[in-house]
Amino acid sequence: AKTARLFDVRSWFGRKVDQDFLDELEAKLIRADVGVKATQILIDRVREAYADKTADEDLLAFLKAEMKALLQDPQAGALAKAPTNPTVILIAGVNGSGKTTSIAKLAQRLKDQGNSILLGACDTFRAAAADQLAIWAERSGADMVRGNAGADPASVAHDACDRALARKVDYLIVDTAGRLHTQTHLMRELEKVRGIISRKIEGAPHESLLVLDATNGQNAIQQARIFSKSIACSGVILTKLDGTAKGGVVVAVRQQTDLPVKFVGVGEGIDDLQPFDPDAFVESLFS
Amino acid sequence: MFDDIQHRLSDALGRFKVRGKLTEANMQEGLRAVRTALLEADVNYEVVQRFMKRVTEKAAGQALIKSVRPDQQIVKIVHDELIELMGEGDPHIRFEKAGPTVIMLCGLQGSGKTTTCGKLARRMLGLGRKPLMVAADLQRPAAIEQLKVLGQQLDIPVHAEDPEGTDPVEVCRRGVSQAEKLGRDTVILDTAGRLHVDDELMDQLKKIEKKVRPHQVYFVCDALTGQDAVASAGAFNAALELDGVIMTKLDGDARGGAALSVRQVTGVPIKFVGMGEKLERLDPFDPQRIVGQMLGMGDIVGLVEAA
Ligand SMILES: Nc1nc2c(ncn2[C@@H]2O[C@H](COP(=O)(O)OP(=O)(O)OP(=O)(O)O)[C@@H](O)[C@H]2O)c(=O)[nH]1
Ligand SMILES: Nc1nc2c(ncn2[C@@H]2O[C@H](COP(=O)(O)OP(=O)(O)OP(=O)(O)O)[C@@H](O)[C@H]2O)c(=O)[nH]1
Ligand SMILES: [Mg+2]
Ligand SMILES: [Mg+2]
């Protein structure tokens, strides 16, 4: 019963804001994967503002407002658009985070907005990765460029750029193989893919999105740091938010790398992608 | 980040120089540093709380080892306690005397089930067994194709059906009969990824368990998992009575606190760890290694051990 009380925010009201109270607040945020460091920063703010006062609705609103402000994106929900076609979106992330599925969802979304889409299947490593993307491409009516299993991903990117230019498609979305950020040679390979894209098409990639799994804990911070360094990420797609994991680590990611969340994945279906809503997200951290 | 914690720890620990016995007061700062390390390694919050309480009780009153600083002694106590909690490594799989041994893999989406299926099959080959893999994921696009490719690479049969007009329970049942027919003695079922809160899909797993009666059920858990590991592992264990856990993606810099959480909430042993994407990258679980990674204070432990 103690734990139940611990995590019911309303039970806090009327209590003195002392160390005990702050410890419980800490527990709440840690449990949502916000992490020790990011939590400490938030708690220090609360301590400054409310030391020895009584916890009430305002305190909670104050804390939520801090987090919402942090997570706000100046270009909320919008993707960059190149002045001339194609706009190129590069997708990357660790193994199994949801890259390929997110591409399917993104393609559907952009298609629904009246755009023509080309997908580049640059995961030539994982068994049947291109087949997986091909099935999604068919479902969303997107065109696709693929290479043979084991082919150089950069050469597939090269061909995809050529076709995107020739057909003047609105968007080229490039899928890449999952890789852990610690695998230096695979990060070099990813940089090479990015390099080809930017050489072939001016200003491209216009978005480099990192796909983070909401069930991940603190390792996501290192993922964000190193992928950003490697391919200059412009935003995050946070997947698997339909489970019970809160994905609070994106608070720490924003604090420490400034990467904004652009979209969230809320299921395995092609329509299960939503623009990130900081308000709803922060509310869910406390529910 | 790692060095950070270590640094803070030696800082904090350096401050109390006690003689005689460890007490709650003189341990406090050091214990706090350990607690932070575990939380940053993604060990579940409640698991950490319970653990810290237990360690504090165990350490209080212990006599100090002369040649070692008391702070170092605490890290060693924590370290040993963690290893005990993680349990023995046990990479053995019990094979049935009669008929094929059936092993079912389950877990959340993208945790590494299909890859692990191939890794286990490869391991079986090495043990002189004759494995067959069953493509029971009819959901994810190209999941069947993925398993078939692994089967080709390993040169072992894969039972697959056209997903139209069949269901995973049937596929598994026929997969086992197929194995009997072909004289294969080990069957590995690759199931679709699912969320532990998806009642319909969890029921489907229960149905497979009831109708196919796998001899071993393994939960495939991503080492990158955060606080939610207890919820998912707990739910899968409640639904299926797991026999073992396989932790994947431990080849990166994840500190793998989920291992302790999952172990605590299920009581089920961790059997293997995935150390890469390639099929040979499956290692027996080693509690020493994971605890070292989780706590990140190997030098201090080594120091005390040498004393
Ligand atoms: N519940 C849920 N599942 C998702 C979501 N996004 C992706 N998935 C599932 O997660 C699993 C992995 O997704 P993929 O898109 O193949 O992931 P990936 O990052 O491309 O994987 P690799 O290419 O192997 O690194 C699949 O079973 C997807 O159906 C989501 O938002 N919610
Ligand atoms: N680095 C690393 N990658 C791994 C490991 N195990 C699996 N992977 C990768 O993780 C990704 C997902 O693996 P899958 O085997 O497709 O996962 P799954 O659980 O079958 O996924 P779903 O069927 O979609 O739920 C792939 O890119 C694998 O190559 C591992 O131990 N280390
Ligand atoms: Mg993929
Ligand atoms: Mg699979």
Helices (H) and strands (E) in chain B, counts: 12, 8
Query: Which residues of B are less than 8 Å from A183 in CB distance?
Result: 251-252
Interface test with A, best of B224, B232, B253 (most A CBs within 10 A): B224
- Chain B nearest-CA distance from A97, in A, is 7
**CB of A183 within 8 Å of any CB in chain B?**
yes
- Three-class secondary structure assignment of chain A: CHHHHHCCHHHHCCCECCHHHHHHHHHHHHHCCCCHHHHHHHHHHHHHHHCCCECCHHHHHHHHHHHHHHHCCCCCCCCCCCCCCCEEEEEECCCCCCHHHHHHHHHHHHHHCCCCEEEEEECCCCCCHHHHHHHHHHHHCCEEEECCCCCCHHHHHHHHHHHHHHHCCCEEEEEECCCCCCCHHHHHHHHHHHHHHHHHCCCCCCEEEEEEECCECCHHHHHHHHHHHHHCCCEEEEECCCCCCCCCHHHHHHHHHCCCEEEEECCCCCCCEEECCHHHHHHHHHC
Which comes out higher in pLDDT, residue B3 or B146?
Answer: B146
Q: Which atom of ligand 1 is nearest to the CA of A267?
A: 32
Q: Which of A94, A96, A217 sits opposite B227 (nearest CB)?
A: A217
- Distance from residue A260's CA to the centre of ligand 3 (Å): 22
Q: pTM value? A: 0.95
Under 8 Å between Cβ of A27 and A45: no
Q: Is the peptide bond before A74 cis (omega within 30 degrees of 0)?
A: no
**CB of A225 within 8 Å of any CB in chain B?**
no
Residues whose Cβ atom is located within 5 A of ion ligand 3 = A 99-100
- Distance from residue B109's CA to the centre of ligand 1 (Å): 6
> Using N-to-C axis directions, what is the helix angle for B287-295 and B298-306, rounded to 10°?
120
Chain-chain contact of A218 with B277 (C-beta, under 8 angstroms): no
Mean pLDDT of B212-226: 98
How far is C-alpha B275 from the chain's CA centre?
12
Query: Which residues of B are less than 8 Å from A96 in CB distance?
Result: 109-112, 222, 249
The response to whether residue A100 sits with its C-beta less than 6 Å from ligand 1 reads yes
Site to probe by mutation for ligand 1, drawn from A100, A133, A175 as the one with most ligand atoms within 8 Å of Cβ, is A100
Distance CA B171, CA B190 (A): 11
Q: Which of A132, A134, A268 sits opposite B109 (nearest CB)?
A: A268
Q: Which atom of ligand 2 is nearest to the CA of B107?
A: 19
Q: Which of B141, B225, B254 sits opposite A136 (nearest CB)?
A: B141
Which residues fall within 8 angstroms of residue A155, CB to CB, at 6 or more apart?
Answer: A147
Under 8 Å between Cβ of A256 and A220: no
Residue A85 has a pLDDT of 96
Task: Return the SS3 of B273.
Answer: strand
Distance CA A257, CA A228 (A): 8
Name the phi and psi angles at B106, rounded to 5: -145, 165
The residue whose two tokens read 């298609």 is A111
Query: Which residues of A are less than 8 Å from B232 in CB distance?
Result: 215, 243-244
Q: Which atom of ligand 1 is nearest to the CA of A177?
A: 23
Q: pLDDT digit string (tens) for B46-86? A: 999 999 999 999 898 888 777 777 777 888 899 999 999 99
Task: Return the SS3 of B16.
Answer: coil
- Chain A nearest-CA distance from B122, in A, is 16
Distance CA A86, CA A173 (A): 10
Q: Which atom of ligand 2 is nearest to the CA of A179?
A: 1
Distance CA B155, CA A141 (A): 35
The response to whether residue B109 sits with its C-beta less than 6 Å from ligand 1 reads yes
Chain-chain contact of A249 with B226 (C-beta, under 8 angstroms): yes
Chain-chain contact of A131 with B45 (C-beta, under 8 angstroms): no
How far is C-alpha B139 from the chain's CA centre?
25
Q: Which atom of ligand 2 is nearest to the CA of B190?
A: 20
Query: Which residues of B are less than 8 Å from A149 in CB distance?
Result: 149
Query: Which residues of A are less than 8 Å from B41 in CB distance?
Result: 218
pLDDT per residue, tens digit, chain A (287 aa), is 344 455 566 777 888 898 888 988 999 999 999 999 999 999 999 999 998 888 888 898 999 999 999 999 988 778 999 999 999 999 999 999 999 999 999 999 999 999 999 999 999 999 999 999 999 999 999 999 999 999 999 999 999 999 999 999 999 999 999 999 999 999 999 999 999 999 999 999 999 999 999 999 999 999 999 999 999 999 999 999 999 999 999 999 999 999 999 999 999 999 999 999 999 999 999 88
Q: Which of A3, A131, A249 sits opposite B145 (nearest CB)?
A: A131
Distance CA B90, CA B286 (A): 9
Chain-chain contact of B228 with A245 (C-beta, under 8 angstroms): yes
Residues with CB under 6 A from ligand 2: A 95-96, 126, 178, 180; B 107, 109-115, 137, 140, 143, 192-193, 248-249, 251, 274-277, 281
Report which protein residue has its CA nearest ligand 2's atom 7: B112
Residues 7-66 in A contacting B (C-alpha not used; CB under 8 Å): 27, 30-33, 35-37
The response to whether residue A99 sits with its C-beta less than 6 Å from ligand 1 reads yes
Which residues fall within 8 angstroms of residue B289, CB to CB, at 6 or more apart?
Answer: none
Q: Which residue of B has its CA nearest to A96?
A: B110
Q: Given a cut of 60, is residue B87 above it in pLDDT?
A: yes
Q: pLDDT digit string (tens) for B129-163? A: 999 999 999 999 999 999 999 999 999 999 999 99
**CB of A222 within 8 Å of any CB in chain B?**
yes
Under 8 Å between Cβ of B283 and B275: yes
Chain-chain contact of A215 with B228 (C-beta, under 8 angstroms): yes
- Distance from residue A167's CA to the centre of ligand 2 (Å): 34
| Cα distances (Å, whole numbers) of residue B254 to A219, B6, B223 | 6, 16, 7
ipTM: 0.96
Q: How many CB atoms lie within 10 A of CB B227?
A: 30
- Chain A nearest-CA distance from B240, in A, is 19
Q: Given a cut of 80, is residue B234 above it in pLDDT?
A: yes
Helix (H) or strand (E) holding B282: strand B282-284
Task: Return the SS3 of B152.
Answer: helix
